Structure 1
Amino acid sequence: MVFEMAQIEILPGKGAEFEAGVAQAVPLFLRAKGCSEVKLLRTIEHAERYTLMVRWDTVADHMVTFRESEDFQEWRRLVGSFFKTPPTVTHAEVAVG
């Protein structure tokens, strides 16, 4: 199990629209091979900063299977116009816990 963590900074004043777009996109992730959970976290101290956390079985499920799919294109169509800068994406695995 791996976690995709995408740091996303959006345009000022677009939070509600961005969150609505992410909510629309959740089913796209959940039907992807290897995806079992999607959460969007809003940073309390910086309202335009978010972390998208997605649980995948493998990095390849995210980086190959999902990223090369039509559903990924739809995800970007739903939310891409709200990005202030391109998201920074990393992957992590549980070390303790």
Structure 2
Amino acid sequence: MILEVAILDVKQGEEINFERDFKFASQYISSINGYLNHSLRKCVEVDSRYILLVNWEDLKSHEVGFRTSKEYLKWKELLHHYYDPFPVVEHYETVFENNK
């Protein structure tokens, strides 16, 4: 499993619109083969900062399956105009996990 992590800095004053559009856009990412789940979390210290966490079966599911799909174009149209600056997206694999 691969965890995609993106810190999203949303233009100030656009947070409510972003959250609304993100919920709608979630249908597109969740329809991709290899997608497992995702969550959006809002920063406590910075009102306009969010973190997107997406679990994928493998890196290819995100980099090829999603990013080359027509669903990605819809995702991009709905969300990319909210970001300033544009987010860096990184991928992580689990080294250790404690579920207690």
Q: Which 4+ residue blocks in structure 1 deviate beyond 6 angstroms?
A: none
Q: Can you give the 5+ residue segments of structure 1 that lack an aligned partner in the other structure?
A: none
Give the match for residue 26 of structure 1: 26
Matched, 1:91 2:88: no
The 5-angstrom pairing of residues 64-83 of structure 1 reads 64-83=64-83
How many Å separate the matches in 2 of 1:40 and 1:96? 22
How many Å separate the matches in 2 of 1:62 and 1:40? 17
Identity of aligned residues (%): 27
Give the match for residue 36 of structure 1: 36
The count of aligned residue pairs is: 97
State the 1:65 CA deviation. Answer: 1.1
Give the match for residue 61 of structure 2: 61
How many Å separate the matches in 1 of 2:32 and 2:78? 17
How many Å separate the matches in 2 of 1:8 and 1:82? 9
How many Å separate the matches in 2 of 1:24 and 1:76? 12
State the 1:27 CA deviation. Answer: 1.3
Give the match for residue 8 of structure 1: 8
Q: Can you give the 5+ residue segments of structure 2 that lack an aligned partner in the other structure?
A: none
How many Å separate the matches in 2 of 1:64 and 1:31? 14
Greater Rg by CA:
2
